[in-house]
Structure 1
Amino acid sequence: MELVYSVDYRSLPKTSDFLLEDKTVCSLSCKNILAFSRQSSGSKDGCHFEIVHEVCVFDLDRPWEEFRITAEPVPVVYMRWDPSGSRLLIVNAEGTFTVWVMENYLINQWQEFGKTELPGEEVLVLAWLHSGIQVLFNPDKQNVVAYNEKYQRSKFCPTVSLFGNKPMDGWMAVTSSGMVTVGLLQEQGQKVISAKECLAPGYLRLTQADIAFMASGDVMVAASDGTVGSAVQCFIVSVKMENNTCHIASAPGASFFLRSLTDYSSREHQNQLHVSKICFLNRENSDVLLACCAAPGQSCVEVWHLLEQTMPLHRMFQSATNPELAYKMPKWMHKASIQHNANLTDIARPKLPMNRSYNIETTSFLSYFACTYRDGVIKIIHRQSYQVLYTSSMDTLDLMSSLTTDHHHHAGGPHLISCVQTNTGCGLVGQSQGSLCVFRVFNSREGSLQLSAGFVVQMLEYTMFVGYDFWDVLLAVRQGMVEGLRQHVNENFQKQTPSIQEMLRIRVLRLRMALCSIIPSGRPRSAECRALLTLFSITFVLRSIVRPKSVAAQEKSPMEKLSALCSMSSETDLDALIKSLDPDDFIVESIKREKGGQASLHILQPFIQWVADFVLHLLSIVPLVQNGNNMPGAALLRDVGVLAMLRDMLAVIRIWGNVSPACSPTFSTTTPSTCHDCLGHIFKLLSRLGQMRKDGASVELEEGLVDECASLPSKVLVPDFHYSYGHDSCSFAVFTQPPALRFTFGTEPDFLYAVRKGYLEYPSEVAPDTRQKHDIVRHIQLGVRPSRAVRECIRCGACSLLHGTTTSVLLKSWEKRFVVGCLCGGHWKLGAGDS
C-alpha cells in the first residue's frame, strides 16, 4: 500500500488567528468522479467571518482541476452519487435534500433537478434505491472465456418498481429520531415524490444507522442508540408506488446485543463505552454487519452474520404428513472481533458485488475492507476470513510533512477522517485534515499486497462489461505488466461471439488506449487506439445506413458482398473493382430525403473526408516506418484487418461519389496535372500494401511502393496528423510519475509539459501542425479560435461544438452517441472562453 497523490482541498488560508472546524464529506461515483464539500470565504475580500460551504467535483485522473456545483451557508452533512454517476444528492444540516445534475452533461455546469425538505431532522445514513441490476464478480470464473458466463446477473428485485417491473430512481434516508424518508424522482416535470414513516411504532433516539438492500426488493435498516447495553435493532422496510403515491411499511427484524458488553465489563472505561459506528459490509448484502464499540483509547469492530436457525417445533404443532418439519428464523451470529488501541474513524467497505460462497483457498483473490484509526493506522482486513492482511500508518506512507506541522490539524498526528474504496477496491480515497489522498492498495512497491495479472485482467474486463470507469483498476497495474495485460485482454476479446465483439469494441479500444498511456513509451500506441476508435465508429455508421432492397436470409447484404469481393480480389484499380457491383444496392435509405426525391449523401462528407485523410496519413509514413521510426500508425500498417477495412471504405466512397459527387473527399494537389484521381491512387497504394502484409507480416515492402509513398506528400497536401490521432493528450499521466505526488487545485503540475512535448512528434516536412481545433464528433475544422460554444474533454482534451445545427436524423442520432461523454469516455466541460 502506498500513497499515489494528495491534493489540498482547502480554500481558506492555512494560518489564521482563530481555529475553524475543517470538516468535509465526499462521495465517489462509478465514473471515478469525486464530489466533496469544503469551507470557503463567502466575500470577495476574503473575510474569514463569512463562511460558505462549497460542493466541488474533480476527476481522479486530473486532481488539479476542480469544478464547483453549488455553495450555501448551511453545512453539508451527506452526499451520494447515484448508481449511474450522473446525479448527485446533497443533504445539508437543515434537512434539505437536493438533487443536482449536469447541464448538457457538462461537468462544470450544474442545475438543480429536485428538492425535498425534512426540517429539524439529523440524517444518519443516505442511500440511492437499488435498480435491480447486479452483475456479480466471481473470482472462481477467472479462466472462463465468454463474458456472458464469466459475469452473470444475480436475481435482484428493484426497491421500487413500476409497471413491467421498471425500476424507479430515488433515495432513502434514516434520521436520528427513527424516521425513514424516501424521495422518488419522476422522469418528467422534475418533481420529487416524498414520503416518511417511523421505523417503530414510537419515535426512537438513534445515533448510528445503516441501510442494505435485499434480493427480494426490501431494505434492511440496522440502528443503534449508541448504548452498548441496548440491542442493535434491525427493521425490514418495503417501499411501494401506488396511484402516484409512495407508501412505506416497516417491520421488525432480528436484533442482537454486542459482545463488547461482556468483554469490556471489567475494564477501566466501561462507563464510557459506546457504539461509534455500525455498517453493513456491502450495501447489496444484508447478511454481514460491522459494529464498532469505542472507549477512550480503544475500539473493537465486531463482525456479525445473519443466518437462518432451525427451530424444532413441538409435536403438537408438527404435521402428520411431515413430522420433521422445522421452523426457520433469522438470527445474528458473532464471527470475529478486530481490536485496536485507538478510536475508529471510518470503515472503507467493498463496492464490488461478490458471492460469499467463492473458495478463498483456491482463488487467492484479495477482497477486503479497511479500518482507519485516529492514531493514523490503516488496517486491511480480508472480506471473508476477517484476518488482518496488512497494517500501515500515515507516517510510513510518505505523507507530506506539512500535514503534521499545520496547527489546524487535530491532535494525534496525521490520520484519515474518512475513507472510501474505489469501485473495484484497487485504491482507497481518504480524507485527511485538509487533504484528499489516493492510495494504491495492490501491487505497490512494498509488495505486501499482490494481485495476480489474471485477476487484474478479470477486473478490467468486468469494468468494461458493466460500463464502469477503469481508472482505479490501473492502480494495480505495474508498468512491467502492461504488455501482458494488453495481449491477454485482446486474446479474450477475440474469442467472444461477433455480437459481443460489436457491442464492446469501443470499450476494449478505450481500455487498450488507457493501458498504453500509463507507460511513457506507449503514447504512440495510445494515439493509434484513438484513431481506431474514430475509424470503427465511422465505419459502423457508414455500414449501418446501407440497406438492401429486399431482405432474404440466404442472401448477403451489399456491404457483405463488397467485403467478400475486396478480400478475394487483388485488383488495384478502384473503378475496375466496383464495376461488377450494382450502385442501386448501396442506396442510403435511412438518410433524410430531399424534396426532389434524391438521397442527400453530402451530409456524410465530413466522415468520408476523415477516412480519406486517415489513409493519407498511413501511406505518408510508410518510408519512415520502413526506416525503423516507431511513430503513430506503425502498428496499423502491419494490421491486415485495418488495411482491409480501409480498402472496403474507399470502395464504398467511390460508389457514393459516383451517385453524388458532393460527398466525395477533397484533396489539395500541388499542381492540377499531378494525381488527378487521388482516391484511385491511394486505393492502389493501399491495395498493394495490404497484399504484401497478407503474404507475410515480416516481408519487407517493395522499394517501388516505398518510393511512391515517399513522393505522395509532394503530390498531395497531407492534412494535419492531429486530425486522425488527436492533440496532446495528458490522460493517465499520473501513472507515469513516481509517487507520492502533491497537487493544488488550479495549478497544473510541471510534468504535464514534458508529457505534452513528447506525446506526438510528427515530421514537419510531411504535414505541418496547423494548430486548429478539430471537432472530434462532427469531424469539421473549428479554427484556432472558434466563434461558437465549444466543449472539451476533461481527460484527452478533445474539442466539439456544444450544439449542432444539423436537421438530419442520421447526424442527430450520431451526435447523441457522444452527448454524455467524449469518444475516450471522459466527461465534457464547457470551454474556458465559453463559460
Structure 2
Amino acid sequence: MDLLYTVSRKPNCNPSKSGPDYDVLHDGRTLCCISSQSIVAFSAITELEDCWGKSWGSHVYIADLNVPWHCHKVISNKAIVTALEWDVPGDKLLIADVDGNVQLWTFKDHLLNEWVCLGTVSFPGEHILSALFFHNGKKTNLVPDMKDAMQYTEKFKSLPLTPSVRGFGGSPIDGCVVVTATGMIGAIICLQEGQGVPLLLHTSESLSSTRSRITAADICFGKNGNFMVALSSGRVSLPVHCVRVTVKLVDEKCVLNTQALPSFFPHSGPINDIQYRHVSQLKFAARDDADCLIIATNGDSGCVIELWELREKPVPIHKTFQPKNHNNQSEPYKTMVWQHQCHYVAQCPVVCVTTSKLSLVSAVPPVGYITVALSDGSIHCLFRDTLKQAAQTSQNVIARNDDTPSTKQQKLHIRISHADMSCIGLVLAAVDAQGHLYVYRLSPFSEPSGPVSVSCASTLLEYCMMTGFDWWDVLVSLRPEIIDAVCERFSENFNRQSASIQQFYYIKQLNIKTSLYRLSMNGQSKAADLTSLLMLHSVATAFKSLLRPSDLSNHEKGPAESLANVMTESITDVDKVLLHLEAKEFTVEPSTLQSLQQLIQWVADLALNLLARLPEQRQVSNKGSGYELLRDYKALNTLRELLVIIRIWGLLRQSCLPVFVRSAENLDVLALLFKLLSRLIQNTEPDENLIDDCCLLPSQVMIPPLNSPQKLIAITSPLFFCQSLPIQLEWGTEPDSLLYVPEINPVEGAMQSEQIIDCTRHTYLGKHPSVVKQCTRCAGVAFQQFLTRTAAIRAWDMRWARECLCGGHWRLHYFSSI
C-alpha cells in the first residue's frame, strides 16, 4: 500500500503557525468518490483558493486522477454535502446534502470543467445519509478457474442481470435512490425527453412501519433488479435492519415497494464487550454483493470491524409442519439469517470504511479488500473474507519546508475524513478534513503480497477493455521493466480472439497499447505509430462509409470490397488500378470532398513520412520488439486503398487533393507514393532500389511534420517512475518535475513547425489559439468549434466528441495557461 501523491492547498493558504490556527477555518466533514472513468469527485468546506475561510460552506470539485492539480468546481452548496455518487458509466454525478436536496449533474459537451445540472429534487427536512444510482443491468466477471484461458468468452462471463428500473422493451432507465436519517427511502427516475432537460419523477416511502432516527445506512444492488438497504440507529442495543426496495415506473409514475428482511444485533458473536457502544459505519462488502455486510463499532478506546454474512440455516420445527418434497418425504425447514463470521479490532475509533465497488471475480466467497481509516490518520487494508490485515499506512507525516531547519519541522496530524476505492480496486483515494487529496496504490486481489505481475496486469487490462472501465489504476501499478512484456502478452491474447471480437474491441485495444508504450522512455515512437494506426483506421472507415454501390441489389460486394480485391493484384501504377473499378461507385458530392481535405492531406503526409523513414528504420533495428507501422502490411495496404480513393476524388474535385511542395512541377507525388508502397508490400524485406528511391524522397518532396512532440505533464508518463514517492502536488499548479517532452526523431529534411496541430482534424491552430480542448492523458489539443459543418465532417467530429483519440477525457483549456 503505497502513497502515490498528495494534492494540497497552495502555501499561501497555510499562513505561519505563529499566528492563529488557520487550519480550523478549512476543517470539516469532506467526501470523495471515484468514477469508473478515474474521475474523483470530492468536497471541501472552503474553496481551494480561499486562504482565510471566507467561503465557508460545502464545495464540490472534480479532478482527473492523471492530472489531479487541474480541479474544477461543480457547485458551491450552502448546506453540507452528505453524499457523492457516480453512476455506473461515470457520466452523472449525484450531490445530496443535509437539507434533503438531491442534484444530478453531468458533463457539458463531455468537458471535465464544464458542468450542467440535469435537475434537483428536494425532500424537505430530510438529512440524506446514503445514495446509489440505478444499475444498468450490465455486469462482467472474471472466471477464476479460467483466468489463463485464451478466449475472452471463456475467461469473462457476462451475467444476466435485471436493470434496477426497466422501461419500454426492458431497456434500463436512469435514476437513483436515497436513504435519509428519518428512515425514509426516496427514488428519482430520470426520463430523457429529446435533447432538452430530462424529466425527473420522484417519490418516497418509509422503510418501516414507524419512522425512527437513523445514523448509519448503506445501499447495494440486490437480485432481480431490487435494492438492499441496511440501517442502524447507532446503538448496539438496537438491531441492524435490512430492507428490500423495488422501484418501478408505472403509468409515468415512480412507484416504491419495501419489504422487511431478517435483522440482527451487532456483537452477538464472540465479541461481547460493552465498551463498543456506537455503530459508526455500515457497508456492504461490494455494491453487487447483498449477502455480506461490514459493521464498524466505535468505543471509548478503539473500534471493532465485524463481518456478517447472510446464510441459509435449518430451523428445527415439529415434523407436522415440515415441508414435503416430491417423494412425500420430510425436508428440514430453512430460513435466511445473518451470521457473524470474523472481526478486526483497532486501537482508535473508525472514521470511514471503504469496500469494493464491484466483485470482479465470480468466486464464493468473493475476494477483495476492505479499507478502514482511523482517527489517528492511519489506513488499514483488510482481506474481505477474513478481515486479516493485508497492509497498513499512516498519514502522520513530517511537514516539508525548505526554509525551516529539519530540527524545527513540525509533525502534523492528518485527519482522514473519507475514502473511496476505484472500480478495479488498485487505487484508493482519501480526503482529509482540510480538503487535501491522497491517492494510494493497492496490490491486486490475486497477488496481495507483492507488485502486479505480467499475467495479472494483462488480465485486468482485458477486463477494462471488455467493460469500458478506465485502466489508469492499472498503469500506475506497473513496474517499468514489465511494460513491454505486458503489452506483448496483451497483444498476443487479443490476436487469438475471433474476428468479430477483434473488430468490436479494436479501437479500445489500440488505446490501451498506446498508453502502455507511452509509459516507457523507449516506447514513444511505438506509441506514435499506434496513434497513426488508429487514425488511419478511423479515416479509412470514414472514407469508405461515403461510398455507395451502384447495384443496390448486391449488398455483399460494395465499392470497398471491390477495391480490396483489386489491391490483391500486383499493380504498382495507381492509374491502372482505376481501370478495374467502377468510377460512379466512388462518386461523392464536391462540397463533402472539400470538407475532408485536411484528412486527405494527412493520409498523404503519413505515406510520405513512412517512406522517408524506411532507410533510417532499416538501419536502426531489424525486426525490433514492439509495434512498427512500417512492418504492418495490412495497415500499409489500407493506406494504398486510401491513395486510390483520393486519386478518384481528385478527378471529381481537384481542390480536395493534398498539397505538396515539390522540386519539380511535373512530379506526380500520389502516383509515386502508391508505387513505393506497393513495392514495399510485395517484398518481405525492402530491396536496395526501394531504399534508394526512399532516400531521394526528401529531396523531391518537402516532408511535413506528422507527430510533433507534445509536452506532457501527467502522472502516467515515463517521469513517474523517476519520482520519489509520494509526489507532493498543489491544487492549480502544474508540477515541473513531471514535465516530459517525448523524443521522436523527425525525418531527415522534414519541415518543422511551431504551430499547434489539431490532433483530430489535423489542421493548424496557430501558435496561440484562444481556447482549445486538451486531453488529460496524452495532452493532445483540439479546437472547440469549427465552421465547416457538412454531414461527413460533422460525423467525424462526433467520433471524437466524447473522448480523445487516445481514449482520454477532454477539458476546456485556455492556451495562455498552457
- TM-score, normalised to structure 1, is 0.88
Question: Aligned partners of 1:633, 1:153: CA distance in 2, in Å?
Answer: 32
Question: 1:390: Cα distance to partner?
Answer: 2.9
Cα offsets for 1:51-79 (capped at 9, x unmatched): 24322111111122111212233332221
Is 1:494 paired with 2:495? Answer: yes
Partner residue of 1:770 out of 748, 753, 772: 753
Moved more, 8-17 or 198-207: 8-17
The 5 A counterparts of 1:604-619 are: 604-619=596-611
Q: Distance in 2 between matches of 1:556 and 1:384?
A: 57
Distance 1:214 1:169 in 2: 17
SS at match of 1:437: strand
Deviation at 1:197, TM superposition (A): 0.9
The residue type equivalent to 2:649 in the other structure is: W
Q: What residue in structure 2 maps to residue 33 of structure 1?
A: 39
Q: Which residue of 1 aligns with 2:242?
A: 234
CA distance in 2, matches of 1:301, 1:702: 71
Distance 1:544 1:148, change over 3 A: farther
Residues 72-221 of structure 1: matches in 2 within 5 Å?
A: 72-188=77-193, 189-221=197-229
The residue identity in structure 2 corresponding to 1:800 is A
Shift of 1:209: 0.8
Give the corresponding residue for 2:20: 17
Q: 1:53 to 1:432 in 2, by over 3 A?
A: closer
Structure 1: runs of 5+ lacking an equivalent: 361-365
- Equivalence map 1:220-369=2 (5 Å): 220-259=228-267, 263-265=271-273, 270=274, 273-311=277-315, 314-317=318-321, 318-319=323-324, 322-354=328-360, 357=363, 367-369=368-370
SS at match of 2:568: helix
Q: Distance in 2 between matches of 1:359 and 1:683?
A: 60
Distance in 2, matches of 1:720 and 1:766, equals: 10
| Residue equivalent to 1:363 | none
CA 1:663–1:726 in structure 2 vs 1: closer, same or farther (change >3 Å)? farther
Q: Identify the residue that residue 594 of structure 2 maps to in structure 1.
A: 602
Partners of 2:505 and 2:405 lie apart in 1 by 50
Deviations 1:514-547 (A, max 9, x none): 1111122222211222111211111122223333
Partners of 1:196 and 1:436 in 2: CA distance: 35
Residue 611 of structure 1 and its aligned partner are, at CA, apart by 0.8
Say yes or no: does 1:728 pair with 2:714: no
* Aligned partners of 1:441 and 1:449 also within 8 Å: no
- Aligned-partner Cα distance in 2 for 1:76–1:410: 32
Do structure 1's residue 624 and structure 2's residue 619 form an aligned pair?
Answer: no
Q: Deviations over 1:678-722 (max 9, x none)?
A: 000111122222223xx2xxx4x4333223222222221221223
Instruction: Assess, with a 3 A threshold, how the Cα gap between structure 1 residues 412 and 626 changes in structure 2: closer, same or farther.
Output: closer
Cα distance in 1 for residues equivalent to 2:82 and 2:498 = 48
| CA–CA distance in structure 1, aligned partners of residues 767 and 805 of structure 2 | 21
Q: 1:600 offset after TM fit, Å?
A: 4.7
SS in 1 for 2:225: coil
What residue identity is the alignment partner of 2:111?
Answer: L
Name the CA distance, whole Å, in 2 between partners of 1:94 and 1:761: 59
Q: In the superposition, relative to structure 1, how do residues 735 and 792 fare at CA in structure 2: closer, same or farther (>3 Å)?
A: same
SS at structure 1 position matched to 2:463: helix
| 8 A contact 2:607–2:673 mirrored in 1 | yes
TM-superposition CA deviations, 1:211-230 (whole Å, max 9, x none)? 11112111111111111111
- Aligned partner (choices 766, 772, 779) of residue 762 of structure 2: 779
1:532 pairs with 2:523: no
| Counterparts of 1:119 and 1:202, CA distance in 2 | 19
Distance 1:43 1:381, change over 3 A: closer
* Separation in structure 2 between the aligned mates of residue 632 and residue 651 of structure 1, nearest angstrom: 32
Matched-pair contact (CA < 8 Å) for 1:12–1:40: no
Cα gap change, 1:782 to 1:289, in 2 (>3 Å): same
Deviation (angstroms), 1:119: 2.7
CA contact (8 A) 1:524 1:632 kept: no
Query: 8 Å contact 1:574–1:651 — kept in the other structure?
Result: yes
- Which sits farther off after the overlay, 366-375 or 488-497? 366-375
For residues 672 and 559 of structure 1, do their structure 2 counterparts lie closer, same or farther at Cα, with a shift above 3 Å needed? same
Specify the SS of the correspondent of 2:579. helix
Query: Does residue 746 of structure 1 match 2:749?
Result: no
> What is the identity, as a one-letter code, of the residue corresponding to 2:706?
F
- Answer yes or no: is the 8 Å Cα contact 2:398–2:410 preserved in 1: no
Give the secondary structure class of the aligned counterpart of 1:614. helix
Instruction: Evaluate the alpha carbon distance shift between residue 198 and residue 479 of structure 1 in structure 2; reply closer, same or farther with a 3 A threshold.
Output: same
Amino acid of the structure 2 residue aligned with 1:5? Y
The Cα shift of 1:831 comes to 2.8
Change over 3 Å in CA distance of 1:632–1:449 after alignment to 2: closer
Size of the aligned set, in residue pairs, is 797
Root-mean-square deviation (Å): 3.2
CA distance in structure 2 between the aligned counterparts of 1:685 and 1:136, rounded to whole angstroms: 48
Per the alignment, in what secondary structure is the counterpart of residue 345 of structure 1? strand
Question: CA offset at residue 107 of structure 1?
Answer: 1.2
Identity of aligned residues (%): 30
> CA distance change for structure 1 residues 526 and 356 in 2, over 3 Å: closer, same or farther?
closer
Tell me which amino acid in the other structure corresponds to 2:538.
S
Residue pairs, 1:604-683, within 5 angstroms: 604-628=596-620, 635-673=628-666, 675=667, 677-683=668-674
Q: Secondary structure at the match of 2:548?
A: coil
Moved more, 729-738 or 232-241: 729-738
SS across alignment from 1:6:
strand
Measured after TM superposition, the shift of residue 371 of structure 1 is 2.1
Cα pair 1:10 1:40 within 8 Å, conserved:
no
| 2:688 aligned partner, one-letter code | E
Call closer, same or farther: CA 1:462–1:663 in 2, change over 3 Å: same
| Superposed displacement of residue 635, structure 1 | 2.0
Letter in 2 for 1:618: L
Secondary structure in 2 aligned to 1:710? helix
Determine if the alignment matches structure 1 residue 485 to structure 2 residue 489. Answer: no
Distance 2:268 2:463 in 1: 40
Q: Distance in 1 between matches of 2:380 and 2:482?
A: 27
Alignment check: 8 A CA contact 1:42 1:52 kept: no
The CA distance in 1 between the partners of 2:661 and 2:48, in whole Å, is: 57
SS at match of 1:136: strand
Looking at structure 2, the residues matched to 831 and 661 of structure 1 have their Cα atoms a distance apart, in angstroms, of 37
The one-letter code of the counterpart of 1:684 is K
Query: Counterpart of 2:224 in 1: which secondary structure?
Result: coil
C-alpha distance 200-423 of structure 1, shift in aligned 2 (>3 A):
same
8 Å contact from structure 1 (residues 307, 330) kept in 2: yes
Contact 2:464–2:471 under 8 Å retained in 1: yes
Aligned partners of 2:257 and 2:816: how far apart in 1?
49
Structure 1 residue 313, shift from structure 2 partner: 5.6
Pairwise mapping of residues 681-720 of structure 1 onto structure 2 (< 5 A)?
A: 681-692=672-683, 695=684, 699=685, 701-720=686-705
The amino acid across from 2:220 in the alignment is: A
| In 1: Cα distance, 2:266 partner to 2:394 partner | 28
Pair 1:830 & 2:812 matched? yes
Letter in structure 2 aligned against 1:702: D
Contact 1:28 1:81 in 2 (8 A): yes
Q: d(CA) in 2 for partners of 1:320 and 1:161? A: 36
| Secondary structure of 1:565's aligned partner | helix
Shift, 1:199, TM fit: 0.6
Deviates more, 1:635-644 or 1:209-218: 635-644
Question: Is 1:820 aligned to residue 812 of structure 2?
Answer: no
Rounded to whole Å, the distance in 2 between the matches of 1:103 and 1:747 is: 24
Q: Deviations over 1:121-160 (max 9, x none)?
A: 2221111122222112333321222223322221221222
Q: Structure 2: which amino acid aligns with 1:426?
A: L
Name the residue aligned to 1:803: 785
Q: What code does the residue aligned with 2:630 have?
A: L
Asked if residue 419 in structure 1 is aligned to residue 401 in structure 2, the reply is: no
Name the SS of the counterpart of 1:108 in structure 2.
strand
* Residue of structure 1 equivalent to 2:563: 562
